[in-house]
Structure 1
Amino acid sequence: MPEIVDWDLAALTAARLARPGPSVTFSEAAGVVSELRRLTEEAAEHVAAFTEMPPVVEAAPVQVVDRGDWAKANIAGLRKVTGPLASRMQAVQANPVLRTVGPKVTGAQAGTVLAYMSGKVLGQYEVFSGGVGTLLLVAPNIVEVERKLNADPRDFRMWVCLHEVTHRTQFTAVPWMREHFFAEVNAFIDASELDPEAVADRVRRAVSTLSDVVNDPQSRSNLLDIVQTPAQREIIDRLTALMTLVEGHAEYVMDGVGPEVVPTVAEIRSAFNARRASANPVEKLVRRLLGVEAKLRQYAEGRKFVAAIVDEVGMAGFNKIWTSPETLPLTSELTDPHAWVTRVHGRPAATAE
């Protein structure tokens, strides 16, 4: 079956364009890998105790990867996701508009994006892989950032592990979460617009969006918005609420586990946030175009949402959020956590002790 993206070309492009990692000796690299694996196991115990969410299915061991392997893992997942869309597009592949933006062009574009992201991602719970998903830690990026922050290596690595293990916990302690996420992604694909004129119109709007982002530093537009049909925007609203929750929950956990686990957590958080905010103008532009800025906002907004609910109803009360898709937050509730408490608990809850 023909694919809409030449994923082999995407992998080659990502490998060619990815920046080299920091300079380390073989012994140092082996030490980093060993420590990340060990800290992941330690983090799992801390996360389960803090969140009161013991996993109900066994997860695969962590994979400590380099930038190229991270890109390959994501390409494998994206290949699965785009398969159904490729099937639907066979009927319109003969159209000259779609032929122009062919698999090799989109493969090169995807590889370019993945090359950029491969140098930024510290870790990821890759949900599209087999089984219940795969926890990836990108060793060269972790080492590079800890050096730039002048952070204690062990503390920074544990801090990162806490965040990523929380994501693994969310998908292994909440039995319906993975299938619900897949269902939303599949619904998004099913709502794709294949009409050639509509595709051409979105290309024109992409050019307009690019100009808007370049000229307006406050713009929240990004190129990912262009692919959305009206039906897809509704799905994206639900997915955004879900991702804001899971990212915010991970941020809350990684800081909340406490100084006894990460003694320099306050210094790390301060330095890390300052680094995010101090990116050069070109870096900020690229992040906005790719929607990375929106993800960074999810961290902050989601953390506030989780903290407010835990403060009001305690961790057990917060964990009702994982009961079913109906108890997930609405987009409007992300900025009004008490509205979620009232809706899910059925009454205004007393302040947790």
Structure 2
Amino acid sequence: MDILRSVRAVAEAEGPGVVDWDRAAAAAKRATDPGSIALTDAERAGYATDVRDARSRLAAVAGIDFDVPDAVEVQNRHHWIDASVGTFRRVMDPIEAAAVGDGEEVGAVGNPGADSLDVMPDSAPGPIGPAPGAAFARDLSRVANTGSMAFALGFLARNVLGQYDPLLLADEPDADHGLYFVHPNIVAVADALDVEYPRFRRWIAFHEVTHAAEFGAAPWLPEYLESRVERGIEGMVGGAGGVEGTAGRGLDPDAFAELQTAMTAVEGYAEVLMDRAFDDEYADLRRKLDERRGGGGPVRRLAQRLLGLGLKRRQYERGAAFFRHVADARDIEAAGAVWERAENLPTAAEIDDPEAWLVRVDP
């Protein structure tokens, strides 16, 4: 881990885009200890068994038939950065294309309140010729954006335990989904929580495989989420698909609300199903991990707030409360009716009033 080299990588950001992704990834890795993935044979077999057992248990409990990804990887933190930078980039590509291709003004990506900076090419004629300082402003914006992305990638790489990646917005529509476990973080958090590492690792595997179950049960879900992301971005950059009156002013509020509600359902269902399917004690794991999510020093809490992790925690809580009510009122298979079609997703109001959803859908 070398903070000075990380800062230097950010300062050397270059290229035509608003983010230098190679430098962002390099800076994140230089500021992050990769950790060890020198697995013993028992650990390697343990991961494979955990994933296999999770699939069998979840399929039996939820009544869902699904496959786990072909790509199940045990990663270190640098591997996670390399795997995830593509996701960040795919989301940002339309914004970069609009900024670079249309000459629109953009501020620093990591600071929505930042002043806009002119990114017109130096040679672009204005009313009185080339804009003075345009190149400097563009370069400064790129450095700020690259630094923001490097910070986000590094912080998440040090905290993510596992990840199911449905590869939203992938260039290849048939690209296989991925399942990743960040081994050094799993070991470190199990130690910090003072819980048995094999049981904790298995619990994390159940959580991530639950997401695979959701997407397997809902083949329409990736396209649904992608369309909301794309609509929101189009509204933010003023694309042709933006909602009238919102283009260039921020996320399409309807798309954003639908995306938030869908992700609340995704996270909440995973919480409830994994607990009901898990084949060992988990109450202490849940309690200690929740305490960890809400704890940490001021820097960690600030980072969580900037990255929206507090919002994600509220998604867990609201979504889990909804699905617990539905599962208790009917059963867990009835709760899975959410994934039969997009129209079965709860509305934002129904998340807080599950009885209304039960009346409407009647699973």
Please give the TM-score of this superposition, normalised by the length of structure 1: 0.80
1:79 matched to which residue of 2? 89
Distance 1:336 1:16, change over 3 A: same
Distance 1:231 1:156, change over 3 A: closer
Quote how far apart the aligned CAs of 1:238 are. Answer: 1.0
Quote how far apart the aligned CAs of 1:79 are. Answer: 2.1
1:245 matched to which residue of 2? 265
Describe the SS at the equivalent of 1:26.
coil
Q: Quick one: distance in 2 between partners of 1:31 and 1:184?
A: 42
Quote how far apart the aligned CAs of 1:270 are. Answer: 2.1
Higher deviation after alignment, 281-290 or 248-257: 281-290
Describe the SS at the equivalent of 1:62.
strand
Q: Give 2:120's match in structure 1, choosing from 65, 90, 94.
A: 94
Q: Quick one: distance in 1 between partners of 2:189 and 2:307?
A: 21
Q: Indicate if the aligned counterparts of 1:132 and 1:171 stay in contact, CA closer than 8 A.
A: no
2:156 matched to which residue of 1? 117
Matched, 1:26 2:58: no
Figure out how many residues of one structure are paired with residues of the other and give that number: 308
1:167 matched to which residue of 2? 211
Q: Quick one: distance in 2 between partners of 1:105 and 1:68?
A: 22
Quote how far apart the aligned CAs of 1:117 are. Answer: 0.8
Quote how far apart the aligned CAs of 1:188 are. Answer: 1.5
Q: Quick one: distance in 1 between partners of 2:93 and 2:326?
A: 39
Matched, 1:38 2:38: no
Tell me how large the CA RMSD over aligned residues is: 2.6
Quote how far apart the aligned CAs of 1:102 are. Answer: 3.4
1:278 matched to which residue of 2? 295
Percent identity between the two aligned chains: 30
Alignment of 1:301-312 (within 5 A): 301-312=318-329
Q: Quick one: distance in 2 between partners of 1:342 and 1:177?
A: 23
Structure (1 or 2) with the larger CA radius of gyration: 2
Quote how far apart the aligned CAs of 1:288 are. Answer: 1.3
Distance 1:167 1:101, change over 3 A: farther
Q: Quick one: distance in 2 between partners of 1:246 and 1:192?
A: 25
1:133 matched to which residue of 2? 177
Describe the SS at the equivalent of 2:83.
helix
Q: Quick one: distance in 2 between partners of 1:124 and 1:179?
A: 19
- Unmatched tracts of structure 2, length 5 or more: 1-14, 104-118, 122-133, 240-246
Describe the SS at the equivalent of 1:244.
helix
Q: Quick one: distance in 2 between partners of 1:337 and 1:244?
A: 13
2:80 matched to which residue of 1? 70
Alignment of 1:180-191 (within 5 A): 180-191=224-235
Quote how far apart the aligned CAs of 1:31 are. Answer: 4.3
Q: Give 1:294's match in structure 2, choosing from 300, 304, 311.
A: 311
Quote how far apart the aligned CAs of 1:27 are. Answer: 5.1
Describe the SS at the equivalent of 1:94.
coil
Cα distance per residue 1:48-97 (max 9 Å; x no partner): 11121111x66323111111111111111222232233222211140749
Distance 1:313 1:72, change over 3 A: same
Q: Give 1:17's match in structure 2, choosing from 31, 46, 52.
A: 31
Aligned AA (2:195): A
Q: Quick one: distance in 2 between partners of 1:39 and 1:274?
A: 25
Quote how far apart the aligned CAs of 1:230 are. Answer: 5.4
Q: Quick one: distance in 1 between partners of 2:305 and 2:93?
A: 27
Q: Quick one: distance in 2 between partners of 1:34 and 1:344?
A: 42
Q: Give 1:51's match in structure 2, choosing from 52, 62, 80.
A: 62
Q: Indicate if the aligned counterparts of 1:3 and 1:83 stay in contact, CA closer than 8 A.
A: no
Quote how far apart the aligned CAs of 1:162 are. Answer: 0.5
Quote how far apart the aligned CAs of 1:38 are. Answer: 2.5
Distance 1:2 1:51, change over 3 A: farther
Q: Per residue, is there more helix in 1 or in 2?
A: 1
Q: Give 1:323's match in structure 2, choosing from 336, 340, 352.
A: 340
Quote how far apart the aligned CAs of 1:100 are. Answer: 5.4
Cα distance per residue 1:271-329 (max 9 Å; x no partner): 22222233223322221122111111111111111110111222232222112222111
Q: Quick one: distance in 2 between partners of 1:98 and 1:335?
A: 46
Distance 1:140 1:68, change over 3 A: same
2:274 matched to which residue of 1? 254
Describe the SS at the equivalent of 2:160.
coil
Please give the TM-score of this superposition, normalised by the length of structure 2: 0.78
Q: Quick one: distance in 1 between partners of 2:96 and 2:177?
A: 23
1:192 matched to which residue of 2? 236
Q: Quick one: distance in 1 between partners of 2:360 and 2:28?
A: 45
